[in-house]
Amino acid sequence: MPRPGRTLAVAVYRPLAEQLAGLAAPGQGESVLELSAGDGELTARLQAAVGGGGSVEVIERPGTTVPRQGAFDLVVSLLAVETQAELDVMQPHLEVVAGRAFIGIGAGGLTYDNALQAAWRRLTGADLGALASSAPVAAPRGWRQRRLSDVARFDGIDQLLIALLDERGIDVAPRRAALRERLAREVAPFTAADGTMRIPVHVTLVEHGAADSVNEGRP
């Protein structure tokens, strides 16, 4: 998935990062591993929570530079893991390197991306390859699964296009005008009379090692 620009960071990542940091609840002095810092909204909250005696280390994927066993108290991620296959590959690494894990996955729950993908399919008959799969994910065995929800606010269709295309470096020329029209139809249920939008989003949160996260994953 393309990295978010400032518009999505403020509208979506910031409130979700606040929720995720609150649920993960890193303590003062703890060591935290974050998978892919993205826009930095989550990183800032983790650093504030652990204080000067703690640490927050960021890596892109645990399989690229594998920390030693038990190296961290907590591993956290927001919208860096995109598919069931990625989660399944990472699971054993996550369980080894940290005592607790909180992984927020947007697959299927980012309504604005789903609308963009649907609009592009109607125009071209194909997927917009820059977007991640929208197939939902399920928690691994022994992990807990819950949902984080919020509403993304946009001033209008043009700001939405800037957030979804321009700030992420996705070029759809020469179909931009047609895509704008089609996307406006897709998000019409979330659009007010003045053109402003309130688009619901949710993230699937899978957790490991928390006190209430036992035996609630896939069979």
Q: How many CA atoms lie within 13 A of 16 on its CB side?
A: 32
Identify which has the larger pLDDT, 69 or 146.
Answer: 146
Task: Specify the pTM.
Answer: 0.88
Residue where the block lists tokens 């979700």 = 16
Query: Over the stretch 165-174, which tens digit does the pLDDT of each residue have?
Result: 999 999 999 9
What pLDDT is attached to residue 65? 54
**Domains, the chain, with CATH or none:** 6-208 (3.40.50.150)
Task: Assign 216 a pLDDT band (cuts: 50, 70, 90).
Answer: very low
* Angle formed by the axes of helices 14-24 and 41-50, nearest 10°: 30
Which of 133-137, 154-158, 179-183, 195-199 is predicted least confidently? 133-137
CA 159 to chain CA mean position, Å: 20
- Give the residue among 48, 72, 49 at the shortest CA–CA distance from 62: 72
What pLDDT is attached to residue 211? 58
CA 183 to chain CA mean position, Å: 21
What is the C-alpha to C-alpha distance for residues 12 and 86, in angstroms, rounded to an integer? 22
Q: What are phi and psi of 166, to 5 degrees?
A: -65, -50
What pLDDT is attached to residue 92? 87
Tell me the C-alpha to C-alpha distance, in Å, between residue 180 and each of 78, 92, 115.
Answer: 28, 42, 11
Do residues 62 and 81 lie in contact, with contact meaning Cβ atoms separated by under 8 Å?
no
